[in-house]
Structure 1
Amino acid sequence: MADAVVIGAGIAGASLAAELAGKMRVIMLEMERHPGYHTTGRSAAVFAPNYGPAGVRSLTRASRAFFDAPPANFARAPLLTRRDILMIAREDQTDPLAELFKEASVVTSVQMLDAEALREHQPLLREGYAAAGMLDVGGQDIDVAALHQGYLRQFKARGGTLITDAEVRALLPEGEGWVVEAKQGRFTAPVVVNAAGAWADQIGRLAQVEAINLVPKRRTAMVVAEPDGFTGRDGPITVDIDENFYLKPDAGRLLISPADETPVDPCDVQPDELDIAICADRIMTAFSLDIRRIENKWAGLRSFVADKEPVIGFSKVAPGFFWMAGQGGYGIQSAPAAAEMAAALVQGLPVPGHIVDHGFDVARVAPDREALAG
């Protein structure tokens, strides 16, 4: 028995469970043997306050204080290290670049660059490929493993119980709470938190609550060698303005992606050879690189609902069923504020003022919002 059962121990479940532990008796169930196996553990996250829809951007800005100064003993090294973000545009892409600059300049320090200035910041760009770009100096690399493990340690230290290899097989309302039948046993609690990532709609169906029409999408990434004489290891992550590819220096190699979003069923997703070929073609078209060998390749799942905002809040169909899903590609950078906000909602408390001060509106993430209609 517990006060809350959290289903899923990726970044969404781990962060929320850590926030609740110490205030409530919390059991966290993870279907894999190791937390974060499917999505969190495959993320190459960047802290980008201008990335994502409005609600995500608000939660990201509200998370910055946590990343800069996490609790004592949370992590052994800084969670963030500087990584400028360079958005690039061909001649036919300058309109969306101008729109992004107008919006981004309100909340962070950005600079418009012409073609010549672009090559000063990203010397790998092929001459004549990009007409303009925007440099955002507010970006940071996130140590995803340190963040996730920090939350798991915090959860344990606050008295929480993590049970792995515990796939949920049934969810049944009982009295004023829920019975969760899982591979490792039977658990009861007044509150069930659905933080099951790409499997969140499946968990919702087990509970017979509203569908949020979540779509898991495959994102491919790979690592290739740096070119001879490369000196830009501290250089920016370079992203196509329409997000058709990105390139980031990473530990003496180049991390590249076609930024694909291919709908798939929730699974242990693997990279597709066509996506790998598309990625190599796009990268070699934009950059002076000759990719002859892929050193490492993988794929992860990014799960979205229609408006790409997360889904956070109690079900309107079944009391005590709480959604913590749909974080898509923004779940790492927004995790601290999202977890703090969600923990307040679970406990029936108002959204913390510092999160509201960043422009967050809880209606944007509500499970019954119009955008989620099937």
Structure 2
Amino acid sequence: HMGDRWQISTGAGAVSATILVNAAGAWADEVARRADVVPIGITAYRRTVVQLVTDPAPPATMPHIADIAGNFYFKPEAGGRLWLSPHDETKVEPGDVQPEEIDVATAIDRFENVVDWRITKLERRWAGLRSFAPDRLPVYGFAPDSPGFFWCAGQGGFGIQTAPAAAALAAAVLLGLAPDASVAAIDPARYAPGRFHALA
């Protein structure tokens, strides 16, 4: 940060801006540290999903089914496939995560204990990162300790579902405008990064 501008060096050259938006997902705290901004405690957790072929195949109209205790969820996917997760939430460092065999086995065991379907094939397995702020609410707003540093982080694995509303809310705060009708009832102060500094 030089004067009122952020300076970023890339392989393609330098970039300068008055506002730096930190939308780095699980790496948001690392971006903050590199910008000399106080991190807010964004933590990454690994989530595992497997794609199965089952007999019978799940009906396309079957809803998303989640265990009330939070031990698994499954849902139908295109082509008669089934997506299954052990609803794992393993704290990890941000990085390119891979599914752990124990999490895959746990998912299948939990599934087989609640349905009488036969798994005929485990087609795919993958893992992804979900990132949360300490209070598990997303963070949208300017850092109170660093003018021009805007947080857009901590969506907790719901980024795709919440993106339209999150973008509308973040844009209104970022640009200092009244939020559009789709998010007008949401108080942006609830998601401001200053809530963590008040606790420090």
TM-score normalised by the chain length of structure 1: 0.51
Cα offsets for 1:204-232 (capped at 9, x unmatched): 0011112110111100000111214x462
Matched position secondary structure for 1:333: helix
Q: CA deviation at 1:191?
A: 0.5
How many residue pairs are counted as aligned between the two chains? 199
Match of 1:364 among 185, 190, 196: 190
- Give runs of aligned pairs for residues 18-97 of structure 1, distance below 5 A: none
Aligned to 1:248: 75
Matched position secondary structure for 1:218: strand
**Which one-letter code corresponds to 1:367 in the other structure?**
P
Q: For structure 1, which runs of at least 5 residues remain unmatched after alignment? A: 1-172
Cα offsets for 1:34-59 (capped at 9, x unmatched): xxxxxxxxxxxxxxxxxxxxxxxxxx
Matched position secondary structure for 1:179: strand
Distance, in Å, in 2 between the alignment partners of 1:373 and 1:219 is 29
Mapped pair 1:309 → 2:137: yes
- Give runs of aligned pairs for residues 80-119 of structure 1, distance below 5 A: none
CA distance 1:341–1:363, shift in 2 (3 Å): same
Aligned to 1:232: 59
Distance, in Å, in 1 between the alignment partners of 2:69 and 2:181 is 34
Aligned to 1:337: 165
Q: CA deviation at 1:329?
A: 1.7
Distance, in Å, in 2 between the alignment partners of 1:295 and 1:366 is 42
Q: CA deviation at 1:190?
A: 0.4
**Which one-letter code corresponds to 1:316 in the other structure?**
P
CA distance 1:372–1:232, shift in 2 (3 Å): farther
CA distance 1:315–1:231, shift in 2 (3 Å): closer
CA distance 1:296–1:372, shift in 2 (3 Å): farther
Q: CA deviation at 1:192?
A: 0.5
Distance, in Å, in 2 between the alignment partners of 1:238 and 1:177 is 48
Mapped pair 1:219 → 2:47: yes
Matched position secondary structure for 2:93: coil
- Give runs of aligned pairs for residues 259-298 of structure 1, distance below 5 A: 259-291=87-119, 293-298=121-126
**Which one-letter code corresponds to 1:178 in the other structure?**
W
CA distance 1:241–1:209, shift in 2 (3 Å): same
Identity of aligned residues (%): 46
Aligned to 1:45: none
Q: For structure 2, which runs of at least 5 residues remain unmatched after alignment? A: none
CA distance 1:296–1:354, shift in 2 (3 Å): closer
Distance, in Å, in 2 between the alignment partners of 1:370 and 1:283 is 39
Q: 2:132, 2:155 within 8 Å by CA — same for their partners in 1?
A: yes
Matched position secondary structure for 1:336: helix
Distance, in Å, in 2 between the alignment partners of 1:308 and 1:199 is 16
Q: 1:309, 1:326 within 8 Å by CA — same for their partners in 2?
A: yes
Matched position secondary structure for 2:8: strand
Aligned CA-pair RMSD: 1.8
CA distance 1:371–1:293, shift in 2 (3 Å): farther
CA distance 1:270–1:191, shift in 2 (3 Å): same
Distance, in Å, in 1 between the alignment partners of 2:58 and 2:148 is 54
CA distance 1:290–1:372, shift in 2 (3 Å): farther
Q: 2:144, 2:194 within 8 Å by CA — same for their partners in 1?
A: yes
Instruction: From the two aligned structures, give the one with the greater strand fraction.
Output: 2
Distance, in Å, in 2 between the alignment partners of 1:352 and 1:300 is 32
Aligned to 1:351: 179
Distance, in Å, in 2 between the alignment partners of 1:182 and 1:243 is 42
**Which one-letter code corresponds to 1:249 in the other structure?**
P
**Which one-letter code corresponds to 2:31 in the other structure?**
I
Q: 2:58, 2:81 within 8 Å by CA — same for their partners in 1?
A: no
TM-score normalised by the chain length of structure 2: 0.93
CA distance 1:371–1:247, shift in 2 (3 Å): farther
